[in-house]
Each structure stands twice: as C-alpha cells, then as structure tokens.
C-alpha cells in the first residue's frame, strides 16, 4: 500500500489493521498492477485456469451425454469390438479430465505451477480431440450425397462451437481440441470430390482457425476484466488505507487538542493567582501605600511591571476562554440580554481609548428591540472584542460605526465597521484562526494576541448564530454577528393591566418589521443615530 508521506506511527497502526489485504493479494498470486501500461496475461494465468476448471465442472453432464450418444451410434455402425474399444477410450478420457479438475480445485495456491497445469489441461484437450477424430475415422468413409455431407458439416460446426464455449480460457485449447476432428471431416468431404463438399471442408478448417482467434480475443477481454478488478480492489485498499490514516491522524490530533484545552482550562487558578499578586503588589507600590519610593527608576519599573502583568493576565484570560470553549467546558448562563445595552456599555468602556485617538463612534440602533435569550457575559465579550479590534485598527481621527437591528430572518444582529486599512482577502482565514494575525496587524504598533476574533466566532456559534467578516483594502473592515430568531424573546401576552398586546394572528414584532427594514442599512426609518 502506498503509505509514503504519512506519519510513521499512523502507518504502523494502519499496516497492522490492513495486513489481511496483503495476504489476499498473495493468495491470488499476482503482482499489484501499479505502473503497468497494459495487463500482462502471465499475471492472470491462475485465474484463467480456475475459470477453465469451473466451466468444465458445469459441462460434465453434457459431455457424458455426448459420449453416450456417440457410443450408441458406434454400437449401431461399427463392429462390437471396435465400438467397445472406442467407448472405453472415451470414458477413460472423461475420467482423466474429471480427476484432474478435482485435483486442481483442491490446491490452495498454484505457487508457480501455472505452466504445468496449462500443459496438463491442453494434453487432456488433445486426447479428447483425438478420441473424437478416431470415432469419425471409423465411420464409413464414403460421403455419397450432399445430405450426408451437410450432416457431417453441421456436426463439425457444432463440435467447434462447443469447443469455443468450453476451452477459450486455454491458449490454443480450441485448436488442439477441434482441429483433429475437423480435419477428419474435411478429408471425408473432400473425398466426395464435389465442389460443394470441398467448399464445406475448407469452411470447417477456416472456421476452426477463426474460432481459435475468436477465443484469443475472448481470453484477452477476460484478462482485461480481471485486470480492472485488481485495479479496483487496489484502489479500494488504498482508499481504505488513506481513510484509516486520516481517521487515525484526526483522532490523535483531536485527543492532543482536547488534552491541551483541558490542561489550560484546569490551569486557570494556578496561572491567575500569581499574576493577581503581582498586579496587586505593583499597584500598592505604585500608589506608595506603604511609604514613598525615593527612586524615580523604581516608580518606572513598578509601572512597567503592572502594565506587563495586566497584558499577560489579559492574554491568559483569552487563552483560557478559548480553551474552555474548545474543551466544551464553557457553561452558558442563559438569561434575557439586550444587545443595545451591551453596545452602550462597551462604548462607555472604550470611550477613553477612542478619545485618545480622536475616533468618532457612531451608533445606529433600531428602537424597541426585545431581549435575546443568551449568556450576558458572552454577549458583552462579543461586542467588547469587536469594538476593541475596530478601535485598534482605525487610524487617528477615524470613524467606527456600530449598528444593531433586525435580520431578514427575524433575528437580531450587531455590526461594527471601522475605517481602517482593511484586510487582504487571502488573509481573512488566517485572521479568523487561533493566534492568527494579518500583515497589517503585525506591522501595527498595537499588536494583539490573535485570539479576539476566534473567541467571538466561537461564542456566536455557541448561540447558534452566524459570524461574518467583510473587508476591503483602504476602505475598512465590517464584522457582523447575527443571532437566530429562536433566540429572540417574544413580548409578554396581553393582560388586564393596560399593557398593549399583539392583535390575534399577528406574529411577534410584526409592527417593528413593518416600519423598519430587515437588512442592516444606515439611515433606515426607526433607527436612532448617536455619535461619540
């Protein structure tokens, strides 16, 4: 099996699983067909001999019937002694053929004996032809009429046809079996010296040679069919091997990834505890709670320690969040959550950073949006990560636009678009992968961990939502996180306390969808625009 290019451990595992296939090819006694331009007949000699044996096993009853018929004819036409000798010879040949076929079928493998058995079967075919020729020679050797010649001609043609059906798997099998009898019949008809009988004799000999060529063509077609079966079997074996290797490699990769995720998820306390201590003590020293720091360098060092510790803690939190999601240990606490409130909260948290870069944040919020059934922390993290990314890659005095509204399917979406340099199309898959960073992010002074978008994408998918990133060079990047209609919490039904209710038969939020277009668009009726 062609297992080159795979990991050695995977190959060893698969080779042990598929060792039975190699044994199957060894039992069939042929080499693999790889690299062959055309099927070699020598590679399929054992199959041809096996098919010859199978055919003769099925034709023994007709053969015995034919011998019996000829013996009866000999009894009627020949002296008793001559008919008896021919009958014994015919029965002996039939018995030899039957015993040789039985012996052949008992063999588990030929192991290089193909030539021996080919000669054996051809020898038995020659004996059969000689016995038939002896019978024909013993009949009265005068063909006095066209009717007798026609009967002999029909007998010869039937003999040749039956030989083709039973002996085409043997090379020269038809010629060896039919030519002696056809020659005797041709001689008998030529002795009549009539043009018609002479023509019949020529046709018999020509038909015998033609049928040998026809048997050769049939044998070639059989070899081509066997070759195709071997190629098909080899392709199946190779496909099974490649599939098994792929499955084994994927299983090992999944186990390794799961082990990594479980390790990081369980290391949360061990990683965060010392960092919290570092941050706490550095903050105490920076504020000079226990006394003044008389050295300005110490103050600068403490500030660097606190800043570096905060960055490291943020990195660890992102890695642990992604690891918990991959390990399936992220527990969702579903409750009513407003995307609008999450956007307002994220805007307030990023307000200082936007002010430092003179970035304008535009809010376009559709009013009266109902809550979503979602994890509040996850929704806040989605919005905050997207807004932080947008501010990071938006140049000074740029614009970040946030839109919240209905989707065309009755769900809700949040879209955050920046006016940054954009992302090349071929780098989008890299940006969405864990720790992936585009060329612009690498050149940027505000490099991140490359985990923000993968975490957002995973959290959106946990809510059965859809995540989409669209970007054009020198125009900016837009990220859209949408949530399905099943996540939208329907308004409360009507009661007697004066709360308005939906008319009977009207789906939830029908009135909102009538006044506000479903796709996200700037300036759609019912959209409130804010800026910071």
At 215, the pLDDT band (50, 70, 90 cuts) reads confident
For residue 410, the SS3 value is coil
Whether the predicted pLDDT of 38 surpasses 70? no
Strands 334-337, 466-472: pairing is: unpaired
- Give dist(CA 171, CA 360) in Å, integer: 91
- Check if the beta carbon of residue 285 is closer than 8 Å to that of residue 302: yes
Q: Which residue has the tokens 């929704």?
A: 379
> Are residues 150 and 165 located together in one domain of the fold?
yes
pLDDT band at 501 (very low <50, low <70, confident <90, very high): very low
Say whether both 353 and 315 belong to one domain: no
DSSP code at position 416: E
Distance separating alpha carbons of residues 182 and 207, to the nearest angstrom: 9
Question: Residue 297 belongs to what domain range?
Answer: 268-326
Question: What are the C-alpha distances in Å from 513 to residues 4, 487, 525?
Answer: 59, 17, 11
Q: What is the pLDDT of residues 220-268, one digit of tens each?
A: 888 888 888 888 888 899 899 899 998 888 888 888 877 776 776 666 6
Cα 214 from chain centroid (whole Å):
43
Domain stops at, among 119, 138, 157 = 138
In the prediction, which pLDDT does 175 show? 85
In this prediction, residues 307-322 reach a mean pLDDT of: 77
In CATH, what number is assigned to the domain containing residue 387? 3.30.565.10
* % of residues, the chain, pLDDT over 90: 12
pLDDT in tens, 453-499: 888 888 999 899 999 998 888 888 999 999 999 999 876 554 444 43
- DSSP character at residue 488: B
Instruction: Give the residue, 510 or 427, on which the prediction is more confident.
Output: 427
Q: What pLDDT, on a 0 to 100 scale, did the predictor assign at position 487?
A: 92
Please name the residues in contact with 428: beta carbons below 8 A apart, sequence gap of 6 or more.
469, 471
Q: Quick one: DSSP state of residue 37?
A: S
In a shared domain, residues 518 and 374: yes
Residue 406 domain flag: yes
Tell me which H or E stretch contains 69.
Answer: helix 60-77
**Whole-number pLDDT of residue 524:** 34
User: What confidence category does residue 389 fall into, taking pLDDT thresholds of 50, 70 and 90?
Assistant: confident
- 18 belongs to a structural domain: no
* Within-domain flag for 120: yes
By three-state DSSP, how is residue 418 classified?
A: coil
d(CA 314, CA 450): 12
219 and 187 together in one domain: yes
Residue 20 lies in a domain: no
Q: How far apart are CA 511 and CA 492, in angstroms?
A: 15
Adjacency order of strands within the sheet including 476-483 = 466-472, 476-483, 412-417, 399-406, 360-365, 528-531
Give 58's strand partners: none
Q: Give the SS3 label for residue 236.
A: helix
Give the C-alpha separation, 89 to 254, whole Å. Answer: 74
> Which tokens go with 251?
């299983």
- Examine residue 504 and state whether it is found in any structural domain, yes or no: no
* Beta strands in 310-424, from DSSP E residues, in sequence order: 334-337, 360-365, 372-375, 399-406, 412-417
134 and 153, same domain (yes or no): no
150 domain-assigned: yes
The C-alpha atoms of residue 443 and residue 426 are separated, in whole angstroms, by 17
Tally of domains within the chain = 4
Res 416 pLDDT > 80: yes
Looking at the fold, whether 355 and 421 belong to one and the same domain comes out as yes
Answer whether residue 412 shows pLDDT above 90: yes
Burial class (CB in 10 A: 0-12, 13-18, 19+), 366: buried
Domain C-terminal end among 326, 344, 363: 326
Beta bridge partners of 479: 416, 469
What average pLDDT does the segment 322-335 reach? 75
In a domain, 48, yes or no: no
Does 300 share its domain with 403? no
- Measured CA angle at 384 (ends 378, 390), to 5 deg: 140
- What are the structure tokens assigned to 318, written together? 């992102």
Per-residue H/E/C for 323-334: HHHHCCCCCCCE
Could you tell me the pTM of the whole model? 0.46
| C-alpha span between 491 and 156 (Å, rounded) | 97
Alpha helices, DSSP H, located in 168-295: 173-190, 195-266, 268-286
Which region among 28-32, 170-174, 206-210, 425-429 has the lowest average model confidence (pLDDT)?
A: 28-32
Indicate if 123 and 272 belong to the same structural domain.
no
Residues 318 and 184 in one domain: no
- Looking at the fold, whether 525 and 450 belong to one and the same domain comes out as yes
- Give the Cα separation of 471 and 427 in Å (integer): 10
pLDDT, tens digit (0-9, with 9 covering 90-100), for 84-118: 777 777 778 878 888 888 888 888 777 778 888 88
- The token pair that represents 246 in the structure block: 């792929």
* Residue 335 binned pLDDT confidence (cut-offs 50, 70, 90): very high
User: Quick one: 184 and 225 in the same domain?
Assistant: yes
**Residue 10 resides in a domain:** no
Lowest-confidence segment of 191-195, 425-429, 456-460 by average pLDDT: 191-195
Q: How far apart are CA 68 and CA 2, in angstroms?
A: 57
- Whole-number pLDDT of residue 483: 94
Classify residue 104 as left (phi > 0), alpha (psi -120 to 50) or beta. Answer: alpha
Phi, psi of 369 (to 5 degrees): -75, 130
DSSP annotation of 527 reads: -
User: Using an 8 Å Cβ cutoff, are 520 and 366 in contact?
Assistant: no
Contact 57, 102 (CB under 8 A): no
**Range with the lowest mean pLDDT among 57-66, 481-490, 515-524?**
515-524
- Radius of gyration of the chain measured on its C-alpha atoms: 45
Asked whether residue 240 falls in the same domain as residue 374, the answer is no
CA 278 to each of CA 269, 270, 350, 459: distance values in angstroms, whole numbers, following the listed order = 14, 13, 25, 30
Tell me the C-alpha distance between 199 and 190, whole Å: 8
- Given 326, 360, 392, which residue is the final one in a domain? 326
């Amino acid at each position: 099996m062609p297992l080159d290019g795979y990991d050695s451990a995977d190959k060893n595992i698969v080779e042990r699983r598929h060792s039975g296939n190699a044994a199957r090819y060894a039992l069939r006694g042929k080499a693999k067909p790889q690299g062959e331009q055309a099927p070699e007949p020598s590679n399929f000699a054992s199959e041809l001999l096996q098919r010859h044996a199978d055919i003769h096993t099925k034709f023994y009853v007709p053969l015995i019937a034919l011998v019996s018929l000829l013996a009866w004819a000999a009894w009627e036409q020949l002296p008793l002694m001559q008919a008896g000798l021919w009958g014994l010879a015919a029965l002996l040949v039939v018995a030899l053929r039957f015993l040789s076929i039985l012996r052949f079928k008992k063999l588990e493998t030929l192991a290089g004996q193909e030539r021996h058995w080919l000669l054996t079967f051809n020898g038995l075919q020659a004996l059969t032809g000689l016995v038939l020729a002896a019978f024909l020679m013993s009949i009265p050797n005068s063909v006095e009429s066209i009717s007798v010649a026609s009967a002999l001609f029909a007998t010869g043609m039937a003999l040749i046809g039956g030989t083709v059906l039973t002996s085409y798997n043997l090379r020269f099998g038809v010629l060896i079996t039919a030519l002696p009898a056809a020659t005797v019949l041709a001689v008998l008809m030529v002795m009549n010296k009539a043009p018609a009988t002479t023509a019949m004799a020529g046709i018999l000999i020509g038909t015998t040679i033609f049928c040998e060529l026809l048997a050769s063509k049939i044998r070639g077609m059989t070899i081509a069919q066997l070759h195709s079966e071997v190629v098909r079997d080899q392709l199946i074996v190779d496909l099974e091997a490649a599939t098994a290797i792929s499955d084994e490699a994927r299983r090992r990769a999944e186990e390794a990834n799961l082990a990594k995720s479980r390790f990081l998820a369980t290391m949360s306390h061990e990683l965060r505890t010392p960092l919290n201590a570092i941050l706490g003590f550095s903050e105490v020293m920076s504020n000079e709670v226990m006394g003044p720091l008389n050295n300005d360098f110490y103050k600068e060092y403490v500030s660097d320690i606190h800043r570096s510790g905060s960055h490291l803690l943020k990195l660890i939190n992102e890695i642990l969040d992604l690891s918990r999601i991959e390990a399936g240990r992220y527990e969702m606490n579903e409750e009513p959550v407003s995307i609008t409130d999450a956007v307002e909260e994220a805007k307030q948290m990023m307000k200082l950073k936007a002010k430092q870069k003179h970035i304008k944040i535009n809010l376009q919020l559709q009013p009266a949006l109902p809550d979503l059934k979602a994890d509040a922390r996850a929704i806040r993290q989605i919005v905050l990560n997207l807004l932080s990314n947008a501010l990071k890659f938006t140049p000074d005095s740029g614009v970040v636009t946030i839109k919240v509204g209905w989707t065309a399917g009755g769900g809700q979406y949040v879209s955050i678009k920046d006016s940054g340099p954009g992302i090349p199309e071929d780098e989008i898959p890299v940006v969405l992968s864990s720790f992936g960073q585009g060329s612009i992010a690498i050149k940027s002074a505000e490099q991140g961990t490359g985990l923000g978008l993968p975490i957002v994408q995973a959290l959106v998918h946990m809510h059965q939502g859809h995540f989409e990133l669209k970007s054009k060079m020198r125009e900016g990047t837009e990220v859209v996180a949408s949530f399905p209609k099943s996540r939208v919490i329907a308004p409360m039904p009507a009661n007697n306390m004066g709360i308005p209710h939906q008319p009977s038969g009207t789906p939830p939020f029908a009135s909102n969808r009538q006044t506000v277009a479903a796709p996200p668009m700037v300036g759609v009726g019912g959209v409130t625009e804010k800026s910071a």
